[in-house]
C-alpha cells in the first residue's frame, strides 16, 4: 500500500479555514478560502483554474478572476477581475496571455465589457484572449469566434505560438454551422503570442462519429494528446500541433459521458472521468466499486491499443439536499489532475466531485485504487459542487460552485516538495508539460 494512504479517520471542526461541520480524513486540512468577488457587488460561481508563478486564473460564469497565492492565511487573495460574463469560463494561461472559453453568445450590452476590443465578442461565442501583463487590470485584446462556441479548450504552446484545441458541440438552438449533423469537430486556433490580434482558426479535426469533444490533455512528451469526446475517448498524434490525427479510440459502454482526461507523467496510464448524466442526476452510490460516474484507468503503454486497467468511485453518497424529485443526486467525477510524484510508479490524482467534495485517489495499482484523503465542506448546509480540483506546488486548490465559496485551499500529508515535483513556471492542468 502506498505511503500516501493513512488511516482515513473522519474528523470534523479541526483547526484551519474549514467549517465546524466539514467532514474529512485526518490527513488533509482546508487552510484557506477566497470567494470570487464581482466588482460592484456579488459573488461568482467558479469553474476552471490555471496557474502561473504565484498567480491563479479562476474562471466563472460572471467573468475571469485573478488571485495571488499567499504564504499565509487566507493563502489566496483576489487582485483582479475581467468583468465580461458569458459561457462557463474555462481558462488557460501562457506568459502574458489568458484564454477564456465563451459558450453562449455574449450579450450585446453585457455589463463590464467596456474596452473597445470586447465589442468583438458582443453577440458571439468563442475564445477570448486577455492581456494579463497587469493582472490587476486585465484587458481583452482579441476574440476568436468558433462554430458552436467554446465549451472548453486546451492550449498546446510551441515557443512564441500557441495552438488552441477548441472543444464545443451543439448545446442550444442548432444552426447550419452548429448542429449534430454538421459539427463533429475540434477547431484549431493559432495564436502568435507577440501579436495576439492575429489569432485565427487555421483548421479542424474531424472527430466523427462524436458530435465534438469536451476536454483534451497534452501528454508530457508533447507528441500525443488524449481527448474525452462525449461518447468515446481518443488518443491523438499532435507531433504536428497544427494538424492532430486520431491514432486510437476508447469505447466503454459503462462510461456515459467522456468528460475529461489525465495522463500519468510516465505516460503509462490514462485516466478518464465520466460525468454521468451531465452531473444533473449522476447519483453517487456510496461504493468504490460502482461504475456510475467513475474515474477509469487505461494502460496506454501502446497508445494505439489502450487496455482497461480499473476504475474508482468515491465511497460516499452525494449530498441528499441536491436530490431531484426522483431522488437522484447530482454527484459525479469532474475536473482533476495527476500529481507529478517523485517515486516511480506512484500515481495520485486530485479529483473534484460534483456534490461530494474533493477526493485524493491513489491508483498506483489501477486495478485496486484507493482513496488517500477526502474533504467535504458542509458549512453552508450543502456539499459544494467541486468544479475543479487541482494540485499545484504543495497545495490543492478547488474552484467551487456555490456563490460564496470560490477557491478553497488544502494541504495534505505526502503531497509536498519531498514527494512531488514542483512546477517552475506554470500549470495548465490539461497541459502536462514537465516544467520541473
E strands present in 193-229: 200-206, 215-218, 224-228
pLDDT at 313 over 70: yes
CA 284 vs CA 22, 292, 352, 389, 400: distances in Å: 19, 7, 13, 18, 18
pLDDT at residue 5 in the model: 55
pLDDT at residue 268 in the model: 98
CB neighbours of 127 closer than 8 A, spacing ≥ 6? Answer: 99, 100, 101, 102, 143, 144, 146, 150, 153, 164, 166, 189
Q: Are 431 and 421 in contact (CB under 8 A)?
A: no
- Residue 79 and residue 59: Cα distance in Å, rounded? 14
Strands 258-263, 245-250: parallel, antiparallel or unpaired by DSSP? Answer: unpaired
pLDDT at residue 17 in the model: 76
**Would you call the peptide bond into 74 cis, given omega within 30 degrees of 0 as the criterion?**
yes
For range 111-138, the mean pLDDT? 83
Say how many C-beta atoms besides its own lie within 10 A of residue 160's C-beta. 11
pLDDT at residue 319 in the model: 64
Residue % of the chain over a pLDDT of 70: 87
The CATH-assigned architecture of domain 30-427 is: 7 Propeller (2.130)
CB neighbours of 276 closer than 8 A, spacing ≥ 6? Answer: 256, 257, 282, 283, 292, 293, 332, 333
Cα dihedral value 399, 401, 402, 403, nearest 10: 80
**pLDDT classification of 325: cutoffs 50, 70, 90:** low
pLDDT at 289 over 90: no
pLDDT at residue 86 in the model: 74
**pLDDT classification of 20: cutoffs 50, 70, 90:** confident
pLDDT at residue 99 in the model: 98
The half-sphere exposure of 386 on its side-chain side, counting CA atoms within 13 A, is 30
Strands 185-192, 200-206: parallel, antiparallel or unpaired by DSSP? Answer: antiparallel
Cell 484564454 belongs to 99
pLDDT at residue 292 in the model: 84
- Lowest average pLDDT, out of 43-52, 117-126, 258-267, 347-356, goes to 117-126
Q: Are 125 and 146 in contact (CB under 8 A)?
A: yes
Which residues pair with residue 70 across a beta bridge? none
Tens of pLDDT along 331-369? Answer: 788 999 999 999 999 999 999 988 788 999 999 999 999
Give SS3 for 49: strand
For range 212-217, the mean pLDDT? 96
For range 394-422, the mean pLDDT? 92
pLDDT at residue 14 in the model: 47
Tell me the pLDDT of the chain averaged across its residues. Answer: 89
**pLDDT classification of 15: cutoffs 50, 70, 90:** very low
pTM value surpassing 0.85: yes
pLDDT at 324 over 60: no
pLDDT at residue 323 in the model: 57
Query: Could you state, in order of their start, the residue ranges of all structural domains in the chain?
Result: 30-427
Tens of pLDDT along 88-98? Answer: 899 999 999 99
**pLDDT classification of 383: cutoffs 50, 70, 90:** confident
Tens of pLDDT along 135-185? Answer: 999 999 999 999 999 999 999 999 999 999 999 988 767 777 788 888 899
Q: Are 112 and 80 in contact (CB under 8 A)?
A: no
Amino acid at each position: 500500500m502506498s505511503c500516501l494512504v493513512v488511516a482515513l479517520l473522519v474528523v470534523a471542526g479541526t483547526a484551519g479555514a474549514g467549517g465546524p461541520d466539514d467532514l474529512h480524513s485526518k490527513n488533509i486540512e482546508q487552510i484557506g478560502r477566497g470567494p470570487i468577488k464581482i466588482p460592484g457587488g456579488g459573488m461568482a460561481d467558479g469553474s476552471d483554474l490555471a496557474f502561473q508563478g504565484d498567480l491563479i486564473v479562476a474562471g466563472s460564469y460572471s467573468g475571469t478572476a485573478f488571485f495571488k497565492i499567499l504564504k499565509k492565511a487566507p493563502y489566496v487573495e483576489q487582485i483582479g477581475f475581467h468583468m465580461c460574463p458569458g459561457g462557463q469560463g474555462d481558462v488557460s494561461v501562457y506568459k502574458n496571455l489568458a484564454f477564456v472559453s465563451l459558450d453562449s453568445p455574449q450579450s450585446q450590452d453585457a455589463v463590464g465589457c467596456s474596452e473597445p476590443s470586447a465589442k468583438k465578442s458582443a453577440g458571439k461565442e468563442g475564445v477570448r484572449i486577455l492581456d494579463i501583463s497587469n493582472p490587476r487590470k486585465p484587458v481583452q485584446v482579441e476574440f476568436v469566434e468558433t462554430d458552436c462556441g467554446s465549451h472548453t479548450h486546451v492550449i498546446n504552446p510551441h515557443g512564441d505560438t500557441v495552438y488552441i484545441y477548441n472543444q464545443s458541440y451543439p448545446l442550444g438552438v442548432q444552426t447550419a454551422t452548429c448542429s449534430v449533423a454538421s459539427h463533429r469537430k475540434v477547431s484549431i486556433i493559432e495564436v502568435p503570442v507577440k501579436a495576439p490580434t492575429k489569432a485565427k482558426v487555421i483548421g479542424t479535426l474531424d472527430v466523427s462519429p462524436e458530435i465534438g469533444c469536451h476536454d483534451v490533455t497534452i501528454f508530457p512528451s508533447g507528441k500525443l494528446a488524449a481527448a474525452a469526446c462525449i461518447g468515446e475517448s481518443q488518443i491523438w498524434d499532435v507531433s504536428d500541433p497544427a494538424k492532430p490525427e486520431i491514432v486510437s479510440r476508447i469505447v466503454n459502454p459503462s462510461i456515459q459521458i467522456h468528460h475529461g482526461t489525465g495522463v500519468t507523467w510516465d505516460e503509462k496510464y490514462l485516466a478518464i472521468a465520466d460525468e454521468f448524466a451531465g452531473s444533473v442526476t449522476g447519483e453517487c452510490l456510496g461504493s468504490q466499486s460502482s461504475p456510475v460516474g467513475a474515474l477509469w484507468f487505461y494502460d496506454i503503454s501502446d497508445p494505439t491499443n489502450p487496455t482497461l486497467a480499473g476504475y474508482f468511485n468515491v465511497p460516499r453518497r452525494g449530498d441528499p439536499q441536491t436530490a431531484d424529485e426522483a431522488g437522484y443526486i447530482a454527484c459525479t467525477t469532474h475536473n482533476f489532475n495527476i500529481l507529478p510524484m517523485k517515486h516511480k510508479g506512484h500515481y495520485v490524482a486530485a479529483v473534484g466531485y460534483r456534490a461530494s467534495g474533493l477526493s485524493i485517489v491513489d491508483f498506483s495499482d489501477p486495478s485496486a485504487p484507493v482513496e488517500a484523503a477526502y474533504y467535504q465542506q458542509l458549512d453552508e448546509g450543502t456539499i459544494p459542487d467541486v468544479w475543479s480540483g487541482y494540485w499545484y506546488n504543495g497545495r490543492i486548490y478547488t474552484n467551487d460552485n456555490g456563490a460564496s465559496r470560490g477557491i478553497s485551499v488544502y494541504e495534505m500529508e505526502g503531497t509536498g516538495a519531498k514527494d512531488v515535483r514542483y512546477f517552475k513556471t506554470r500549470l495548465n492542468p490539461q497541459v502536462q508539460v514537465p516544467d520541473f
